[in-house]
Amino acid sequence: MARKSSLLKRTLASSCIILALYAIVNTFISSTATLKLDRSFPFSSANSVVVSDEFGSQDTDLLNTSGKFVSPVKIYLYDVPTRFTYGVIEHHGIARGGKSVAEVTALKYPGHQHMAEWFLFTDLLRPESERIGSAVVRVFDPKEADLFYAPFFASLSLIVNPIRPATSSGQQQQLVYSDEESQDAFMEWLEKQEYWKRNNGWDHVIIAQDPNALYRVIDRVKNSILLVSDFGRLRADQASLVKDVIVPYSHRINTYNGDIGVENRKTLLFFMGNRYRKEVLVRNVPPDPDESVSELVEHFFLVNHPGHYLTHQVVRDANKLAKLVKKKKKAQNWLDYYQLKYSRNSTIKPVVKTGFLGLWGKKVDAIEFQTAEIERLSIEIASERKRISDDPKSIMPAAFVSFKSRWGAAVCAQTQQSRNPTIWLSEWAPEPRDVYWENLAIPYVSLTIRRLIMGVAFFFLTFFFMIPISLVQSLASIEGIEKIAPFLKPLIERDFVKSFVQGFLPGIVLKLFLIFLPTILMIMAKFEGFTSLSSLERRAAARYYVFNFVNVFLGSVIAGAAFEQLNTFIKQSANEIPKTIGVAIPMKATFFITYIMVDGWAGIAGEILMLKPLIMFHLKNFFLVKTEKDREEAMDPGSLGFNTGEPRIQLYFLLGLVYATVTPLLLPFIIVFFALGFVVFRHQIINVYNQEYESAAAFWPDVHGRIIYALIFSQVVLMGLLSTKKAAQSTPFLIALPVITISFHLYCKGRYEPAFIRYPIEEAMMKDTLERAREPNLNLKGYLQTAYAHPVFKESEEDDEAESNEAFETESTLVATKRQSRRNTPIPSKASVPSSPSLPEVRRDRHQP
């Protein structure tokens, strides 16, 4: 006992010394960083608000907290040679259409992908009478400028380069375009300018939206202000990730006199997913015998929200139609496969059996069968679509309501609409990609019953799952195996087998028991009726964490040899529980070390290798892949599973907090896991996984709460452990720790949680005022009318493909590359497909000449 007490004292002393050194170093670094960031944006950061535009870039509001306008940023626009602006567009038109220069009359910026270069250039060229209220003002005297803008359509130049015309004739030779040569020429011109030489471009703005744009001269411009849209995929030596977020390049403007410390900055009250925040989901619309749901919604909001209501989209039960569309796509895929097979060998016609899964039944011509199946499904789809449009029963008592302003949407989403609190229920609408359409057809009155049923089911799943885990854990030991299978004793007694059984077998068994758990929890969340993918993943993540805490952590701690400790745990008094846990937890340190290596380290290795997707791809490729479309879908890496990854990381965070003072030997394993996880997941998020939706940082309140609960639990465990030692007299002083932690949690909940769940009226009004000043003729009705239409209400798949091909030919050009474009841009969610043009496309038409 004395030896253990001495070891504990040494551990506590070492921890105190490390914390003291950390505090000293952190204080020194913080003070140094504050001195370095003394120069910043030319507005007072105490009264400026950050706002995001449609490209994800961020400007500073012209309105301060008092509602008054402040001075805009002064920009000097270089008069660069035409070859770097309109010349790039001209060469693009020539290369795509094979026309001569004389035939290129209307110069329009092609495509939608890299429009910031065109918008900023044309915005600064507009007359000052059209730029009233703009966040920037163009000056013609470089001495007055805060920033200098040198326009070069670098991203478009990169696209033009690989599709230049052939060089067989002398006339064609002069039309050859070289992106590399243009980059060099641009830098040679720019480096001769007086104000560039002054500080090597320190206050110059250059746009390179594509990560490969300006690749040849990136080292010559990286000292300047490089505006990027996909900066997360750039190398660390290409751009600073810090300056591209919140207040970009603020420390580069020499006219600022304030401070940008965190304590003096306004809280960011909206996030990327809430850039417009003008849509509200209204549910439980009361029935009316004289009006349809659509008419009732329109009349209600015209009366109760006059001047703010814009349009609405009723929710229809289209689940059956969605299944028919899915069947048609599957049949079309089979038809493509059989046609391809027949084209390769026209002597043998492919046949198929009409029975179950094609295993038995009459043999028929596969191409004719699939063609007839597609025609039949097309007729059914048309009939079902007409039925949904005409049948009032297919319209659910819910609608997506759009408003003209953020202020109107904020008032509707955050207030009670009727004297009866059970009808006209309003909430913020998820973004279109985030909508889980299947659950919108669930009647609102049944949601409470569904969630009650799933709550009870989850309780039994959690606590009864502990029984097989405890039983198997007790058997996954030398004694347990010898008791069940005595004939294995000679084999188990070998050193190699014995070390494996004692070290890795319990962790492997536990991991195998949890393989199907995430799928079960996601099914339960869908049954509860949540209407967005983000809310489904948040609910599944919360339950996965609770399950891990009860079964993986507590279950492994109290399981022991079998149920002896569980029996003791249940029968003892409540005030003895902390002592029991405090004694049992240190005994399981070895098990959790092996579990971290088996689940954590091996999981990180499997993540970077994409082991599961790799195996699934080869299985699909062998059994299911028939066409290139199938192959592309099989290769799709999907999105980052927040419902599994985030709870697992927080479980390791809990282990680190609990064992930091109890068994510090476990900490290096936790630190290695987090270090590897940071590197691997950062790479996967940036370069591999698709972005399925935007949730406006909705996960963070849950994450913060679970971190607080982990802190409190670790403090209770520490009190229980010390109460069994000679330090029991000092245990009462530790009661202050959970009290302080809970107080901090309540402070954070009251101070910061509203930023995640509510939208301030003041903030909404400020942004509406700014938007009206900058975009007086903005018309969003065309976009919002179809933004929340069910994805199956669109043209046929063939028409969609024809339209997309036409848009490709007339509006944008893609460079031939082996890299899939889905890695570069957000993809539609699995539950929804974009049914309307993106907002930047709507706004783009107003700026084109």
pLDDT in tens, 413-460: 999 998 988 889 998 888 888 888 888 878 888 888 999 999 999 998
- Considering 22-26, 476-480, 719-723, the range whose residues carry the highest mean pLDDT is 719-723
pLDDT at 504: 62
Q: Where are the alpha helices (DSSP H) in 103-178?
A: 116-125, 154-160, 170-173
Instruction: Give the dihedral sign, CA 738/739/744/747.
Output: positive
Tell me which of 116 and 671 has the higher pLDDT: 671
- pLDDT value, residue 623: 66
C-alpha dist (Å) from residue 347 to 336, 341, 343, 364: 18, 11, 9, 16
Residue-wise pLDDT tens digits, 807-832 = 433 333 333 333 343 333 444 445 54
pLDDT band at 501 (very low <50, low <70, confident <90, very high): low
pLDDT at 39: 29
pTM over 0.85: no
Range of 301-305, 473-477, 844-848 with top mean pLDDT: 301-305
Q: Between residues 501 and 351, which one has the greater pLDDT? A: 351
In residues, how long is the chain? 849
Would the pLDDT of 164 be above 60? no
φ/ψ (deg, to 5) at 451: -70, -30
| pLDDT for the residue numbered 661 | 81
What's the pLDDT at 316?
A: 84
For all residues of the chain together, what is the average pLDDT? 71
Return the pLDDT at 265. Answer: 40
Closest to 828 in 3D by CA, of 628, 636, 684: 636
Split at pLDDT 50, 70, 90, the class of 329 is: confident
The confidence score (pLDDT) of residue 496 equals 66
pLDDT top residue among 555 and 377: 377
Residue 315 has a pLDDT of: 85
Amino acid of residue 258: G
Binned at pLDDT 50, 70 and 90, residue 481 comes out as low
Q: Please tell me the predicted confidence (pLDDT) of residue 815.
A: 34
- Please give the pLDDT value at position 365: 82
Range of 356-365, 608-617, 792-801 with top mean pLDDT: 608-617
User: 830 Cβ partners below 8 Å, 6+ apart?
Assistant: 533, 692
pLDDT tens-digit series, residues 45-91: 233 333 333 333 334 344 444 444 456 788 898 988 888 888 888 87
HSE-up of 87 (CA within 13 Å, CB side)?
Answer: 16
What pLDDT does 333 receive? Answer: 78
CB of 55 within 8 A of CB of 269? no
pLDDT grade for 540, boundaries at 50, 70 and 90: very high
| Torsion sign, CA atoms 528, 531, 536, 539 | negative
pLDDT at 512 over 60: yes
- Band of the pLDDT at 167, cuts 50, 70, 90? very low
- Rounded to an integer, the average pLDDT of 137-159 is 85
**Residue 752: its pLDDT value, please?**
85
Residue-wise burial string across 651-677, b where 16 or more C-beta atoms lie within 10 A, e elsewhere: bbbbbbbbbbbbbeebeebbeebeebb
**Contact criterion met (CB below 8 Å) for 559 and 658:** no
Q: Which two tokens stand for residue 217?
A: 């001269």
